[in-house]
Every structure is written in C-alpha cells, then in structure tokens.
C-alpha cells in the first residue's frame, strides 16, 4: 500500500493535463425520425484526449445516429466527476423528454476510492434520476475501461486500479439488473497505445470512434 500511495502521488503530479475538447455541446443533426439524446459524465464524455468535440464521443455518436435520424442532442460532462458529483449535475439539468441517455462515469470513483456500497447506491440514484427527470429514457451505462492497460499508470498501481475498475463494473451490473430501461455498454477496445491519448489515460480519437459506433449499435435497434 505505501508503494501504491507513492505511485499515485507521482502519477497525479507528473501526468500530462489534457483539456476538454472544444466545440458545441448541444445541437440538432441529421434527418429522419426524431430522437433526443443526452450524454453525461466525466472527462471521457467531455472529450479529453482529442481537440474537438466532432472527434470525441459526442460528435462521433451524433454523426453516426444522424445518418438515419434527426438527433437533438446535449452534452453535460466535466473532468473529474465522480458518481456522487454526477448526481448533482443531473439534478441541475432541466427536466425534459429524452429518448436515450449515455452515461460515462466511474474512473474517478476508482482513483478516488469511492466505497463499494456508495458506488452501488449512486448508480441506482443516477438511473432513477434519469427516469424521473427525462421521462423514462433508455439509459446506456458505459462500463469502466480496463484500467490495468492504461500506460500512463505505473505498476503495480495500474494492476490495482484495474482490479478496482473490474469490481465496480460487476457492481454496476448488479445495481442495474432489475431495470429494464437500463443496460451496460461494454466497449470492445484493445487499448494499445494508438487507442490512448498522449497522457496514456484518456481515449484517443480512434477509441472514441469505436465507442461511438458501439453505442450507436446499442441504440439504433430502438430508433
């Protein structure tokens, strides 16, 4: 544990600090059946790792869905959000009708040592809040990435955080198992260097494109 703490401090001080992607965070795109999309979450949702939103998750997901639909979309995301902080963000979003909510959360809960029981409670609250505030949308929870493959982390810290991420994924599945409007999106990305940003921690544009494609596939059957 002392080794892990020393490595955690070193990583926090030395890791490259990348900004959130620039660009619009709401709009309308495409033609066809109208759908309302809300993307919420942490730095990955905010597009950290790429320069522009058009190359981040929001831009690429909207572009994918817009090939067959008119997409009214909104992005609410900030670097550093934990599941607890995300609850506060959702509470501040105006109540509205939303068809799909894509959620990315959990990495900061891993690094911030959120307790397991609090994580389960938060996930249930996030889903329940989305149901109440956004008129019972389909909620797509993105599974935590395999943090043991993040090259920006040192070993054995990387291994230990990977174990925590795996455990939070298992708990997320259990927390949402009885909600038919919620499903888990496990992204199939190898996370070799080309799929990571230069900080070795956030997704690259290529990883965002795969994430967006797989999220669109999960949503399109219902559109």
Task: Assign 150 a pLDDT band (cuts: 50, 70, 90).
Answer: confident
Q: What CATH number should be reported for the domain holding residue 94?
A: 3.40.50.1110
- Answer whether residue 6 shows pLDDT above 70: no
Q: How far is CA 183 from CA 5, 101, 115, 188, in A?
A: 34, 11, 22, 16
The rounded distance, in Å, linking the Cα atoms of 50 and 96 is 30
The rounded distance, in Å, linking the Cα atoms of 71 and 78 is 22
Q: What are the structure tokens assigned to 176, written together?
A: 């949402």
| Model confidence pLDDT, tens digit, residues 80-106 | 999 999 999 999 999 999 999 999 999
Q: 209, 202, 193: which is closest to 55 by C-alpha?
A: 209
- Answer whether residue 33 shows pLDDT above 50: yes
DSSP one-letter string for 3-41: HHHHHHHHHHHHS--PPPPBS-SEEEE--SEEEEEEEEE
Q: Quote the domain boundaries for residue 123.
A: 2-222
Asked whether the beta carbons of 48 and 21 are under 8 A apart, the reply is yes
What is the number of domains present in the chain?
1
Residue 23's pLDDT is 96
| Model confidence pLDDT, tens digit, residues 174-199 | 999 988 889 999 988 888 889 999 98
Q: What's this model's pTM, rounded to 2 decimal places? A: 0.91
Asked whether the beta carbons of 107 and 153 are under 8 A apart, the reply is no
């Amino acid at each position: 544990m002392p080794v892990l703490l020393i490595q955690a401090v070193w990583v926090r001080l030395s890791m490259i600090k990348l900004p959130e992607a620039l660009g619009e965070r709401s709009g309308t795109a495409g033609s066809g059946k109208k759908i309302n999309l809300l993307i919420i979450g942490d730095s990955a949702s905010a597009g950290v790792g790429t320069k522009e939103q058009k190359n981040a998750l929001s831009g690429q997901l909207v572009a994918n869905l817009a090939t067959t639909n008119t997409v009214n979309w909104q992005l609410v995301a900030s670097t550093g959000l934990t599941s607890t902080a995300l609850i506060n963000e959702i509470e501040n979003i105006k109540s509205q009708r939303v068809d799909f909510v894509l959620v990315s959360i959990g990495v900061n809960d891993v690094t911030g040592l959120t307790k397991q029981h609090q994580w389960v409670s938060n996930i249930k609250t996030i889903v329940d809040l989305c149901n109440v505030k956004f008129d019972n949308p389909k909620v797509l929870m993105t599974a935590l990435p395999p943090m043991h493959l993040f090259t920006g982390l040192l070993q054995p810290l990387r291994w230990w955080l990977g174990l925590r991420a795996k455990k939070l994924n298992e708990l997320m599945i259990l927390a949402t198992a009885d909600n038919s409007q919620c499903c888990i999106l496990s992204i199939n990305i190898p996370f070799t260097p080309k799929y990571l940003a230069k900080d070795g921690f956030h997704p690259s544009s290529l990883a965002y494109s795969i994430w967006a494609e797989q999220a669109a596939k999960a949503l399109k059957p219902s559109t």
